[in-house]
Amino acid sequence: MASQRRGLIAAAVALSSALVLAACGSGDDDGSSGGKVELSFWNGLTGPDRPAVTHLVDQFNKSQSKIHISMSVMPWDVLYQKLLPAYGAHKGPDIVGMDSNQIPVYASKGVLQPVDPLFDKGVQKSTLVAPAVAAGRYDGKTYGVPIENTPVVLYYNKKLFKAAGLDPNSPPTTWAQWSADAKKLTIGGGGGKPTQYGIAFGVHDTIEVMPILMWQAGGGIVSDDGKSVLLDNAGSKQAVSYWSNLIATDHVSPLGLSGADADKLFQAGKAAMQVNGPWATTGYKQAGIDYGLAGVPTGPNGKQITLGNTTSLAAGASLSSTKMQALATFYSYWIRKDSQTYFALHTGFPPLTTTVPTSALQSNPDVIAFAKQSATARGLAPGQPSFASIQNEVFDPTLQKIMNDPGSADGQLGSAATQVKNLLATGR
């Protein structure tokens, strides 16, 4: 899952060279062989979650004799490089797991089909975490259903909190508390460079933290319907100015951090707080960090909200009705209570459904902490085909400029908003 941070960039590069293809779906046969339906399944789940994914697929195949899932796992960049050429040659997968941010990109090119029929074929939509389903929508239809959903939360170092005179069992819950704690946890060093930072705040090649803060102030990048640019509204300006000034003036975080560098700072005990996902828990435990987990502190609108990283399961455009029914059977197995309990306890990722009780997750308290945030974890840009360009060409570079010169925030955001409007108009 962590590698999906960089999957967006790789996908954009792959698409730019492959869009000349008049891509179709996978083969148009029903995949039956001696009464058994074969479903090819590509994904990029190569991380610590891979054993659990493999286990569920294997268990499904063993549980019945009518459907067989043939899974191919590859790095995300390889997946995105192969996908359009494969569909164009009628050799693409029947089903594919991809970052939900890529769903509108591929759906808009006609290589995927809506999977709304799954909800008429036994899949219980009402039990799924709603924002994770919304993450797979494009143009008013569902093109992907969630197979993983990982909210990001606030990690905080209990040892450093205690050393600073803060209650290690009372993490900040508001911006005011968060910024005050960050200042108190920042320890100055020679030449004005801190030896310990209050926050490790990544601004590129990372989990996007600033959009969460913008949402909390009533702003954002693009509206949920994709029709309005929010970068230069009052809420966005308030959030970006507040946090860029805190970082630049009070030095609570190094400037220009990448996601990897932010992880290293927290893992080394050189930063007291960080916003991150469940994939980080293993490394931090191995490093001996006594961390706590909490919701991202609320902003001016007082609403608990965070970012959710969703891996969606999509269907090739030529998937037959027979295979769609087979997919419904497989997905229903994937989201069963026992399947989701197993997956959560073996990956650290929260369940996708509300059918798993907290009591079933007691052996992994971290999962419970992440699950508490699932209902408020929204996608970065659901239904927005141009978001790779918006993120890589406009938002991240603009944010880095502002971090180095907070006083330029209003002007930089205004310029960025104009660029985003042009990208939306051209559909790039």
What CATH number does the domain containing 293 carry?
A: 3.40.190.10
pLDDT of residue 6: 40
> Rounded mean pLDDT of 279-304?
97
Residue 215 in any domain: the answer is yes
Same domain, 282 and 389: yes
Same domain, 273 and 348: no
Number of domains in the chain: 2
Would you say 294 and 273 are in contact if contact means Cβ atoms under 8 Å apart? no
The 10s digit of each residue's pLDDT in 161-195 is 999 999 999 999 999 999 999 999 999 876 668 99
Residue 392 in any domain: the answer is yes
pLDDT of residue 224: 84
The 10s digit of each residue's pLDDT in 369-397 is 999 999 999 998 889 999 889 999 999 99
Residue 327 in any domain: the answer is yes
Residue 218 in any domain: the answer is yes
Residue 5 in any domain: the answer is no
Same domain, 107 and 246: no
Same domain, 187 and 303: yes
CB neighbours of residue 425 within 10 Å: 9
Residue 242 in any domain: the answer is yes
Same domain, 320 and 341: yes
pLDDT of residue 12: 43
> Rounded mean pLDDT of 318-330?
98
**Full residue range of the structural domain in which residue 351 is found:** 37-150+309-374
Same domain, 157 and 258: yes
Residue 403 in any domain: the answer is yes
> Rounded mean pLDDT of 123-151?
96
What residues have CB less than 8 Å from 109, skipping those under 6 apart?
A: 19, 23, 84
Query: Three-state DSSP class for 9?
Result: helix
Please report, as a single letter, which amino acid is at residue 53. Answer: V
- What is each CA distance from 257 to 112, 122, 265, in whole angstroms? 36, 46, 10
Residue 239's Cα: distance from chain center in Å?
21
Same domain, 211 and 329: no
Same domain, 323 and 276: no
Structure tokens at 101: 């941010």
Same domain, 194 and 145: no
pLDDT of residue 426: 84
Q: Round to whole Å and give the CA distance between 194 and 401.
A: 22
Last residue of a domain, one of 332, 357, 374: 374
Residue 26 in any domain: the answer is no
Residues of the chain with pLDDT > 70, as a percent, come to: 91
Structure tokens at 136: 């797979």
Question: Which residue in the block uniquely carries the two structure tokens 């790095």?
Answer: 75
Q: Which of 276, 311, 275 is nearest to 101 (CA)?
A: 311
Structure tokens at 74: 């590859």
Q: Which of 96, 111, 142, 99 is nearest to 22 (CA)?
A: 111
Would you say 316 and 26 are in contact if contact means Cβ atoms under 8 Å apart? yes
> Rounded mean pLDDT of 313-322?
98
Which of the four pLDDT bands, split at 50, 70 and 90, describes residue 31? Answer: low
Residues of the chain with pLDDT > 90, as a percent, come to: 85
More confident residue, 23 or 417: 417
Helix ranges restricted to H, 75-150: 76-88, 103-107, 130-134
Would you say 298 and 178 are in contact if contact means Cβ atoms under 8 Å apart? no
pLDDT of residue 29: 57
pLDDT of residue 34: 61
pLDDT of residue 35: 83
CA angle 292, 151, 112 (to 5 degrees): 160
Would you say 67 and 330 are in contact if contact means Cβ atoms under 8 Å apart? yes
Beta strands 291-294 and 153-157, pairing class: antiparallel
Same domain, 269 and 412: yes
pLDDT of residue 381: 86
Q: Round to whole Å and give the CA distance between 260 and 142.
A: 33
Q: Round to whole Å and give the CA distance between 222 and 417.
A: 9
Last residue of a domain, one of 374, 395, 412: 374
Q: Round to whole Å and give the CA distance between 168 and 292.
A: 8
What residues have CB less than 8 Å from 370, skipping those under 6 apart?
A: 150, 151, 153, 277, 278, 293, 348, 349, 350
Question: Which residue in the block uniquely carries the two structure tokens 């490089």?
Answer: 81
Same domain, 254 and 334: no
Question: Which residue in the block uniquely carries the two structure tokens 């009464």?
Answer: 35
Same domain, 296 and 313: no
Q: Is pLDDT at 413 greater than 90 in this prediction?
A: yes
Last residue of a domain, one of 374, 401, 416: 374
Which residues share a beta bridge with 306? Answer: 377
Query: Three-state DSSP class for 26?
Result: coil
pLDDT of residue 340: 98
> Rounded mean pLDDT of 114-140?
95
Average pLDDT of the chain, as a whole number: 92
